Amino acid sequence: MTVAVRFAPSPTGTLHIGSARTALIVWLFARKNKGTFMLRIDDTDQERSKEENVQDIEKALKWLGLDWDSYARQRDNTANYDAAIQKLKDSGRLYPCYESEEELALKRKSLLARSLPPIYDRAALELTDEQKAAFEAAGRKPHWRFKLEIEPIVWNDLVRGKVEFHGKDMSDPVLIREDGRPLYHICSVVDDIDYGITHIVRGEDHVTNTACHKQMFEALGAKAPEFAHITLLGDSEGGKLSKRKGSLSLNSMAADAGLEPMAIVSLIARIGTSDPIEPLDNMQAVVDSFDFSKFSRNLPKFDEEELYRLNAKIMHKTDFAAVKDRLAEMGLSDIDESFWNAVRPNLEALPDIKDWWQVAKGPVTPIIEDAAFAATAAELLPPAPWDATTWKQWTDAIKAKTDRKGKNLFMPLRQAITGQERGPELGDLLPLIGRDRVLERLKAA
């Protein structure tokens, strides 16, 4: 059997880090098993689905390095949904219900008050044709529920192990709204049948849905795929990660924060598994180490600080050739390899290089607490041209003249030259700043 999987985002918003993790895991499973990966846009909700969100999702996945072997839009498959719905109606597995939202809410409230689970009572199955006609005449439109079989629902989950539900303990799910629009459940199942999906990988918040879907597959004459339900991401405090946090959208991380795709991949591929979280160089290494047996059932905590630490480590070993074009796009085409090599150990993300370019080319605000020391340092500046030996030559002369050493020598020089208390090695940075700028900053007092 050739593995066939899909990632089916709804374009009602941008791609969030949690959804990106699901997409990555689905993609890794496909690539590890030499299978196929489908991107399927769940856009049946035409009111909330936005074309700009479709473009955002596709752009984010490509940036992350996730390619797809096939592509589909659910809005193009409505004829097959209609056929499946009619089949379920004809077999008696889909039945009309006329309760209003208020009536259903009262039923749920009554059951909960008696410490009973809020399971739909199937009262609609007792309606006569005359009662249904009366509801229709009064202007009520039915929603349609899928009739679950009262039997055990069992599957062996690739992450959770054996999972068991029972039809008697579950509410018949609504598959069609009052306005006639099919809901996620039926569309997803029909698509999975039509596209030959062999494995469904999704968040554990879908476990109950899977129990219902499994019977839907069977009611439509298909064998249910295998399932893997991964834990959702938690925040650093252990709560549920909010999708409303704009900084956690993939394209925001790429454009605004300037993060590297492999930093994100390195974190979300390993978080919640037994593998160590470490900076990974390429996607093949991630594919090779992927295995569902490594996934934990505990809530993994997403920590933005950890993401930036990984990003910094990747930056520190990135060659100039890999960033040259990106620097040009940032308006920094004058940066050369020597400057890159000098400052990259101090970069957390690529946009940080703008700050060090400003330090090198100015203007900056020098920090000078001892004007006399700065004047002495200025007098002892070596003549141009400068090279990698200039810093030692200069500081040796200052040390001999002032008897300063260690931090008392180096910190005032760094503050005066860069306006910062930390940064790249001054031996590397000094030739890039140049004698004229260094002299100007020392004389700022």
One-letter identity of residue 302: F
Structural class in CATH, domain 361-442: mainly alpha
Map out the domains of the chain as residue ranges: 361-442
Quick: pLDDT tens for 149-165: 999 999 999 999 999 99
Quick: pLDDT tens for 277-292: 999 989 999 999 999 9
With the CA atoms of 129, 135, 136 and 140 taken in that order, what torsion angle do they form, in degrees rounded to the nearest 10?
-140
pLDDT (tens, 9 = 90+) of the chain, 445 residues, equals: 799 999 999 999 899 999 999 999 999 999 999 999 999 999 988 788 899 999 999 999 999 999 999 999 999 999 999 999 999 999 999 999 999 999 999 999 999 999 999 999 999 999 999 999 999 999 999 999 999 999 999 999 999 999 999 999 999 999 999 999 999 999 999 999 999 999 999 999 999 999 999 999 999 999 999 999 999 998 866 666 655 444 588 888 888 888 999 999 999 999 999 999 999 989 999 999 999 999 999 999 899 899 999 999 999 999 999 999 999 999 999 999 999 999 999 999 999 999 999 999 989 999 999 999 999 999 999 999 999 999 999 999 999 999 999 999 999 999 999 999 999 999 999 999 999 999 999 998 6
